[in-house]
Amino acid sequence: MSYVTTADGTQIFYKDWGAGRPVVLSHGWPLNSDSWEAQQLFLADHGYRAIAHDRRGHGKSTQSWHGNEMDTYADDLAALLDHLDLRDVTLVGFSTGGGEITRYIGRHGTARVAQAVLVSAVPPLMVRRDDNPGGVPIEVFDGIRAGSAQDRSQLYQDLADGPFFGNNRPGANISQGIRDAFWLQSMAAGHRNAYESIAAFSATDFHDDLATFDVPTLVIHGDDDQVVPFEVGGKASAALVKGAELIVYPGAPHGITDTHKERLGTDLLTFLSSFGATA
């Protein structure tokens, strides 16, 4: 298996598939790189080098006691890009991973980056504050924290069976296999790591990071996302990134990497193919 060791000794696991211009995929909470397997295989089959890593505390990476916040997540991503010496990278972040790549650009710039894609992503800011009145009430995240502390296995099952894939909507037909995979990946995360990451994805303010974006950016978001509401996430981020392209999936839930994987693959491929025209 392939690992990169960060400055504090944490080992970050990654999968490196295919050959061509690199695409780096950053996963959502509390999942791991396996959640990208459909897109990673699709992109590798279409001439790209598709790389997906497990965030610290998730999947096969070290369950570090410290560093379960966005600055360190971004620095870990930088360690991966530096280790592989990647150039002209397209960064793709889903949900919490969207925060990770956004903070990466904010802290490390775009010297290695050609394009960015935010999918159902948490930026610019999820939690409701006086200066973010449309955000999600803190009580929602406190409830997730309470569920994680009391019975996180059941919490993950409830998320998979309900809002994450929109399985609580009339006519939804999300397979048991997809829901089981969500639970399995989630349970592979460290208890403390997953708990502390709730604050990282909900309370980190990415407005200043988004203002530094200077590469072509695609924002994809479902307008029935019950985890990161469209108005709080994709719509707000697209308005903050100069020249960003926004694609809205009508009626789509949060977990579109599974529920809309065919369309997502096609949209990613179209955006990736525009690199030559925009470089």
Complete domains list, the chain, with CATH? 2-274 (3.40.50.1820)
The average pLDDT across 70-98 equals 98
The rounded distance, in Å, linking the Cα atoms of 224 and 135 is: 15
User: Across all residues in the chain, what is the average pLDDT?
Assistant: 97
Residues 6+ apart with CB under 8 A from 229: 136
Judge if the upstream peptide bond of residue 123 is cis by omega within 30 degrees of 0.
no
Match 């988004």 to its residue by tokens: 210
Distance (Å) of CA 8 to CA 64, 141, 159, 183, 188: 9, 29, 33, 29, 22
User: What pLDDT digit, counting tens, does each position of 112-143 carry?
Assistant: 999 999 999 999 999 999 999 999 999 999 99
Name the band, by pLDDT with cuts 50, 70 and 90, for residue 278: very low
Integer angstrom CA distances of residue 257 from 76, 93, 95, 199, 265: 23, 11, 10, 23, 9
Among candidate residues 254, 258, 260, 267, the one labeled active-site is 254
Pairing state of beta strands 48-53 and 21-26?
parallel
**Residue 69 carries which DSSP code?**
S
pTM above 0.95, yes or no: yes
Examine residue 170 and say whether the peptide bond preceding it is cis (omega within 30 degrees of 0): no
Using a pLDDT cut of 70, give the percent of the chain over it. 99
Mean predicted confidence (pLDDT) in 221-235:
98
254 an active-site residue? Answer: yes
Q: Which of 33, 35, 64, 95 is catalytic?
A: 95
Look up residue 258 and give its amino acid: D
Tell me what pLDDT residue 158 has. 98
pLDDT at 276: 76
Say if residues 117 and 25 touch (Cβ distance below 8 Å): no
For residues 67-82, give the mean pLDDT.
98
Map residue 4 onto helix, strand or coil: strand
In this prediction, residue 279 carries a pLDDT of: 42
Neighbouring C-beta atoms of residue 4, cutoff 10 Å: 18
Helix/strand/coil for 107: helix
Distance separating alpha carbons of residues 269 and 247, to the nearest angstrom: 14
pLDDT at position 150 over 70: yes
Band the pLDDT of 1: cuts 50, 70, 90.
confident
Task: Say if residue 23's pLDDT is above 90.
Answer: yes
pLDDT digits (tens, 9 = 90+) for 169-221: 999 999 999 999 999 999 999 999 999 999 999 999 999 999 999 999 999 99
Q: Which of 76, 225, 258, 267 is catalytic?
A: 225
Cα 17 to Cα 39: distance, rounded to the nearest angstrom: 11
54 has catalytic annotation: no
What's the mean pLDDT in 32-36?
98
Annotation says 225 is catalytic: yes
> Which residues touch 143 (CB under 8 Å, ≥6 apart)?
none
Across 63-82, average pLDDT: 98
